[in-house]
Amino acid sequence: MWAMDMESYYGDLEGDEEGLSYFERDDFDVYDDVYYPKMSFWLLCESCLLPVIQQTVSTTMPLMVASFLCKLVSSLLSTGHETGVSASVVHISSALFGLYILYSFFQSSMLYLLISAVLGYILITITMFKCRAQCGLCVSLTIVAVIILLEIYIVDNTSWHKIRGSQMLMSMKIISLAFDISNCAIDYLPDMWQYMGYIFNVGTVIFGPWINYHEYCKITKQHLRPLSFSWLLKILRSFFAALLCLVISSCLLVWIILDHHWKWLLAYRDAMSFRFSHYFVCYLSAVSLTLNGLGATESNGEVKWDLFVTRPSFIELPRSLVETVSNWNLPMHYWLKIYIFKNARPLGNFAAVLLTYGASSLLHGLNFQLAAVLFSLGFYSYIEHVFRGKLALIFDACILAKKCKENCTHLYKANNPYVIATNMAFVGLSMFHLAYLGLMFDSSSQEETGYDMKHTLSKWSSLDYLSHWVAIGTYLFHLLI
């Protein structure tokens, strides 16, 4: 959606006399590594950076305004209680603002989301009174079945690709609410307005992030979270970070690394472009949630606007793929850990890992590309975890997939030169795997409808499936030592 083919732009420009008024035609060379980047930066700003920023601001402004208005309404009406007339109005306003934004983004396609939400409430109500202990499992299986039916039989590919993110967020909320009721973390059935306000909360309905029901209910206590400089600073920082990630993804990477470079460098570029587009969405979700007055922590009466949805530094230079997975989307990682992994833990760690990645794949929809990447990432992270665990045991060194605590019992600590070299080697290996796995998330004709199996396999085939072979070799070596 946001990507721009800069090579095509420059190709068209070469035949446009008026477009070359910035410089003499004889001096213009697309592949001049010295002269071209310096002279083309202003064209890059005019043709990509500024249009992308303007489009982003104009597209997201209704969401930001609605999120802020919802906070104002909540601040005026909040009483500090989750019940009562004022609290009901707060929940209704949260739902109405969210439904308006859904219609603004998806038009009539939002009806699928509305129907799914109503079905979810009916299921939670029935199972809570009939078989409360199984509420989470029953609702989860039904929601997954609804997602499959919508994608395969009801919604066309283009519309589904647009609403898939919001459908996933809504499904996560419904499932988490059902499990919290099963586990008695919530000891009452939310009324329709509380439920709809949570599911369609305007601050999370488009970009996320996922929040649990208890966090959402703090919307009725907005008088405890007044407008402040720290609140405004969090919004400005997150919005600037979102725009920076977007221009890096859409403009700068394709300007720096052109299509005639080495195929592995191009793979790294395309994967990095996808990652930065993900950071853009995460930072934007932090903006909308903060504008809505949620996502803060409270300690000793002090409100801290310290929400983090992603940590790019842990992903771009990852200690391990395990670290990448846990920092990719912090709220979703928490959701998968609490509601999927822990419930599947009795089946064994490996089975729990597979079920966790399977659940994530199903929530994203029946998409071979996403499923292939998620399951590959699951196997890779598990292999790396057990392999580095065995190496750490053999050499008594701090080379685990996760960083050791300060008081760990290893003989060779993290500051040892050999430990540093080993961990840096695994950083390089993780970057190699990420370039391979993210290669197929490029801008192509299939972007609007989703990528199929042929596209995914053709991308990996162009790199000789090298990452998968390395992962298999790592696992075999793990078995031998």
**Active site members:** 364
Among 249, 238, 254, 186, CA closest to 215 = 186
CA-to-CA distance for 376 and 324, rounded, in angstroms? 14
The rounded Cα 42 to chain-centroid distance in angstroms is: 32
> Nearest 5°: phi and psi at 304?
-115, 125
The answer to whether 295 touches 286, Cβ cutoff 8 Å, is yes
Residue 460 burial (10 A CB sphere; 0-12, 13-18, 19+) = buried
Is 313 in a helix, a strand, or coil?
helix
User: Which tokens go with 178?
Assistant: 């059902």
Cα end-to-end span (Å), the chain: 47
CA-to-CA distance for 481 and 472, rounded, in angstroms? 15
Tokens 């008695």 found at: 184
Q: Left, alpha or beta for 138 (phi > 0: left; psi -120 to 50: alpha)?
A: alpha
The answer to whether 287 touches 242, Cβ cutoff 8 Å, is yes
